[in-house]
Chain A
Amino acid sequence: MSEGTSQADIAERAADWAQRRHFWAWSDADQAELDAWLAQSMAHRVAYWRLNATVDRTERLTALRPALPGQTRFWQRRGWLMTFRAVAALVAVAALGALATEYFSKSAPQVFATTVGGREVIRLKDGTQIELNTDTVLKIAADTGARDVTLEKGEAYFQVKHDAAHPFSVTVGNHRVVDLGTRFLVRKDEGVLEVSLLEGRARFDAAAAQTHGSSIDMKPGDVVVAKGGAIRLTRRPERAITNQLGWRSGVIVFDSTALANAAAEFNRYGGKRLVIADSAASRLKIEGTFQLNNVEAFADAVQVAFGLHVETRPDEIRISR
């Protein structure tokens, strides 16, 4: 227990910090002030952590932000009450999205979304487990016993309980992965789909191939890369695929990775944006394991290892020769 200040006072201060931190402009000086307050006692820290975690949970709502600028202007004319009603209606529609329609149609899919920096584990009734990485949207069809899922964007790791009678399938764009008892990773970036198989067997049905009935049977270590219309099958050592799964324990693993690609990886998770400001530096190869939410530590390591210049700004870190 802390002397002097009551828990109730601390709770109030912590709530004020949490709202300042998340809803207002935030400078390095603010951060320093918060750090000093947190350093004063464990009571301060636990109170703040609890509320900070609460705001983090509401990040999920941010993901549902409607991208309708025209309508925003329309609400503004109606004053705050109207605004709130419109927003509330949009929350209901956007937030529940397909969930809301579940009341009318049992076949509507469930939607799971993580925000930038977010992570989520979904456990299905059949024992299948799906882990979502940062900035990911996944839909699970309700009418096939949750055995058909669609990855809209992002990255997901699947540990599927095999059931010969009900094959588990993941649809990504026009492509489809059908498991035959497996653990595999699916990642969809802008224009590129990558499926890596760790264990068991899976079948990859390419968009064009579906009509021809041809497909790729994947073995552990196989990686299918679909880019544009081209489908490529390569193999990676097990270690390389395991490295790709570092995010499941909060880390990023680099193995002879170009600095530019390493920066792109970090930037998937939010936090300060890492900018490699010159092309010679961007080609340097790095290796190591880093906490994915600690881009500063990564920048430090790069600075030490390569003697690069690191400039930290409020919302980005610039690395140059």
Chain B
Amino acid sequence: MAETTDTTRENAGRGRPGAAMNASELEAWFVREVLPLEAALMQFLQHNWRNRSDIADLRQDVYERVCSAAQEQRPDNAKAFVFRTARNMLVDRIRREHVVPIEAVEDVDALSLAIDEPGPERTAIARDELRRLQAALDRLPPRAREAIVLGRIEGLQGNEIAARMGITEGVVSRHLASGISGLADMLYGEDVKPRRKP
């Protein structure tokens, strides 16, 4: 038992920088350290890439690269690592595709420096979480919002949502999927506006 104890204790920690991570550690690290940077990352990509329709794909490419590397060796500074990866990726693409003049990425350094300043919004997030959720829900397309609300707040299962909305289960699935994607973009991809009291 003692041996089990020690091994488990090793694995149960958050892992140290430089160490390899297993899938669940990597997921936890990604959600905790990388996803909160998404708004800044989107801003960075939008500043440095002309074609707006590529941005979501570029973001996923960055995540993919970041996690593939982090799986082998956990970076000690997630923020710096994410933006370095994003910059390198854009530079590669620009060289390869000759679509944007190279000077376009020059303000990358300035931007990532600015991003390194801890924003006051980090602490405001917990406080405003319910409000953010509410606001994000409100901006979903009506049917997607209705499906999500029925599922989350009323706790209905997909088939019950279908019955309640009078639509097929397949259509419910599509509304739920687009609702989740929309919420992800709003909750992670957009800047948090600290709410001011009236």
Contact = CB atoms under 8 A, between A and B. Distances in A.
Q: Please say whether chains A and B are actual partners in one complex.
A: yes
Interface of A: 1-2, 6-8, 10-12, 15-16, 18-20, 22-25, 41-43, 45-47, 49-51, 53-55, 57-62, 64-66, 72, 76, 80, 83-84, 87-88, 90-92, 94-96, 99, 103, 106, 110, 112, 120-123, 249-251, 286-291, 294, 297, 301, 304-305
Contacts of A16: 173, 177
What is the interface of chain A mostly: helix, strand, loop, or mixed?
helix
28 contacts: A1-B64, A15-B180, A16-B177, A18-B177, A18-B180, A19-B158, A45-B26, A47-B60, A50-B63, A51-B181, A53-B184, A58-B133, A61-B149, A62-B153, A84-B142, A84-B149, A87-B154, A88-B149, A92-B134, A96-B131, A96-B134, A99-B131, A103-B198, A106-B197, A110-B127, A121-B126, A122-B127, A289-B8
B187 A65 contact: no
A305 B4 contact: yes
B12 A289 contact: yes
Contacts of A64: 153
A304 B4 contact: yes
A51 B179 CA distance: 10
Contacts of A84: 142, 146, 149
B80 interface: no
B177 A291 contact: no
B42 interface: no
B159 interface: yes
Contact of A42 (B67, B127, B183): B67
A289 B3 CA distance: 11
B35 A60 contact: no
Contact of A80 (B56, B67, B127, B146): B146
A306 to B, nearest CB: 9
Which of A23, A249, A301 has the largest number of chain B CB atoms within 10 A? A23
Contacts of B133: 57-58, 60-61, 95
B81 interface: no
B142 to A, nearest CB: 8
A65 to B, nearest CB: 6
Contact of B68 (A42, A54, A121): A42
A304 B3 CA distance: 12
